[in-house]
């Protein structure tokens, strides 16, 4: 009951410092640090996570139909590596459920990450179906073509397939009363050539930005390499995801935004991604390891890092180390 009376009056969260205020694709963020997809799978706790200091949250991955995901156990900690391995497989309650949970006042920017059902016979169509159903309820939409835990999903990163998905969702987007920014989330396990091809297709289809990256399938990133099934996140992903971020930053058009994800545990990790070209970042594993108070702590330290280098705002620092 307390929750019900609180909701209608809830106000957007303010920034802890004006230095951290930033704008990405028209969205005003009180902080560049967002919660990555996979934590709030069903858009149930976005106001609670925004209250912890996140500047934005990405819910999902949500698929058209509900599905249970892969069998348990499917999430493992590697504490010696500050890493997680997950093979969740898009466990979620489906788009109809999310369309209900999202209909309440929001404390900030909430995006939705969309994917295809594991058993779908037309994965390309799944993106149109869910975009049409959910896009108007969210501040932005991320097309997830990079999860390693749904068979063949990452094949959708192939330029000719990605092009089809983008043409479909863009047509739907143009028919909306208010268009939403569209992001593509890519894998870290791509060659330089793959990255360039994906970027070209995104820019030809006027995608707002790219999110780099999802989890890796490469055991070589571990200090003590061992084979595993699923996607690896956390500290070992920091360098590989930064490599992709840098590649994108060097080749993208000024109008294409970048969101950096992978291995962030500290303010200096955030700062490195910003200096490599990210206008905003997202965290998952660092939040799991360091706990709920960590985000505000990182934000205060980030403010100091920016001010010490003479930056009065985030956007001045974006791409500073590749200019």
Ligand X SMILES: Cc1cc2nc3c(=O)[nH]c(=O)nc-3n(C[C@H](O)[C@H](O)[C@H](O)COP(=O)(O)O)c2cc1C
Active-site amino acid positions: 147
Cβ nearer to ligand X, comparing 257 with 264: 264
d(CA 294, CA 225): 28
Distances (CA, A) of 125 to 38, 45, 63, 116: 22, 28, 11, 8
Give the Å distances, CA to CA, from 238 to 141, 142, 263: 24, 21, 4
Among positions 180, 207, 244, 264, the unique one binding ligand X when judged by CB under 6 A: 264
Interaction between residue 291 and ligand X (CB under 6 A): no
Q: How far is the CB of 258 from ligand X (least distance, A)?
A: 14
Binds ligand X (CB under 6 A): choice among 106, 123, 154, 185: 185
Residues in the chain: 323
Per the CB < 8 A criterion, the answer to whether 276 and 248 are in contact is no
Sites for ligand X among residues 215-254 (CB under 6 A): 215, 233-234, 237
* Choice between 41 and 311, CB closer to ligand X: 41
Exposure string for 251-273, b = 16+ CB within 10 A, e = fewer: ebeeebbbbbbbbbbbbebbbbb
Name which position in 286, 295, 303, 311 contacts ligand X (CB under 6 A): 286
Q: What is the DSSP letter of 14?
A: P
**147 neighbors 214 (Cβ within 8 angstroms):** yes
* Member of 19, 25, 36, 145 binding ligand X (CB under 6 A): 36
CA 106 to chain centre: 18
Distance CA 92, CA 90 (A): 6
Tell me: does residue 21 bind ligand X (CB under 6 A): no
Q: CB 215 → ligand X: shortest distance, Å?
A: 5
SS3 184: strand
Per CB under 6 A, the list member of 25, 33, 88, 135 interacting with ligand X is 88
- Contact criterion met (CB below 8 Å) for 35 and 259: no
Number of residues that bind ligand X (CB under 6 A): 27
Q: Is 165 in the site for ligand X (CB under 6 A)?
A: no
* Cβ at position 261, least distance to ligand X in Å: 4
3-state helix, strand, coil in the chain (%, to 5): 40, 20, 40
Q: Binders of ligand X among 98-117, rule CB under 6 A?
A: 113
Q: Which stretch binds ligand X (CB under 6 A): 32-40, 128-136, 200-208, 268-276?
A: 32-40
Q: In this chain, which of 117, 214, 242, 256 binds ligand X, going by CB under 6 A? A: 214
Which C-beta is closer to ligand X: that of 20 or that of 261?
Answer: 261
Q: Can you tell me the distance from the alpha carbon of 268 to that of 112, in angstroms, rounded to the nearest whole number? A: 27
Out of 285, 295, 298, 319, point to the residue binding ligand X (CB under 6 A): 285
Site string for ligand X, 42-71 (x = CB under 6 A): ------------------xx----------
3-state SS assignment for residue 56: strand
Report the C-alpha dihedral over residues 240, 284, 315, 191, rounded to 10 degrees: 20
Segment near ligand X (CB under 6 A); pick from 4-12, 47-55, 82-90, 272-280: 82-90
Residue nearest ligand X by beta-carbon distance: 38
Contacts with ligand X by CB under 6 A lie at: 36-38, 60-61, 75, 84, 86, 88, 90, 113, 144, 147, 185, 214-215, 233-234, 237, 261-264, 283-286
């Amino acid at each position: 009951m307390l929750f019900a009376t609180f909701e209608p009056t809830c106000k957007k969260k303010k920034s802890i410092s004006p230095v951290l205020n930033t704008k990405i694709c028209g969205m005003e963020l009180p902080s560049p640090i967002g919660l990555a997809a996979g934590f709030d799978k069903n858009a149930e706790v976005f106001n609670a996570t925004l209250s912890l200091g996140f500047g934005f949250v990405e819910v999902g991955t949500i698929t058209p139909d509900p599905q249970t995901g892969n069998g348990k156990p499917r999430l493992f900690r590697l504490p010696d590596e500050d890493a997680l391995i997950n093979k969740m497989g898009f466990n979620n309650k489906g788009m109809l459920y999310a369309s209900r949970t999202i209909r309440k006042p929001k404390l900030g920017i909430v995006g939705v990450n969309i994917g295809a059902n594991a058993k779908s016979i037309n994965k390309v169509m799944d993106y149109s179906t869910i975009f049409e159903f959910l896009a108007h309820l969210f501040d932005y939409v991320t097309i997830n073509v990079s999860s390693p835990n749904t068979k063949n999903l990452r094949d959708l990163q192939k330029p000719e397939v990605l092009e089809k998905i983008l043409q479909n969702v863009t047509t739907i987007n143009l028919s909306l009363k208010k268009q939403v920014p569209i992001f593509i989330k890519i894998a870290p396990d791509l060659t330089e050539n793959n990255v360039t091809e994906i970027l070209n297709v995104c820019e030809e289809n006027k995608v707002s930005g790219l999110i780099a990256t999802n989890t890796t399938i490469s055991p070589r990133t571990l200090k003590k390499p061992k084979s595993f099934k699923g996607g690896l996140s956390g500290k070992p992903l920091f360098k590989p995801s930064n490599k992709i971020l840098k590649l994108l930053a060097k080749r993208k058009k000024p109008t294409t935004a970048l969101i950096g994800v992978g291995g962030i545990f500290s303010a200096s990790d955030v700062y490195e991604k910003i200096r490599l070209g990210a206008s905003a970042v997202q965290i998952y594993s660092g939040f799991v390891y360091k706990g709920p108070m960590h985000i505000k702590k990182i934000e205060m330290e980030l403010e100091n890092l920016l001010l010490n280098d003479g930056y009065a705002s985030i956007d001045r620092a974006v791409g500073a180390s590749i200019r």
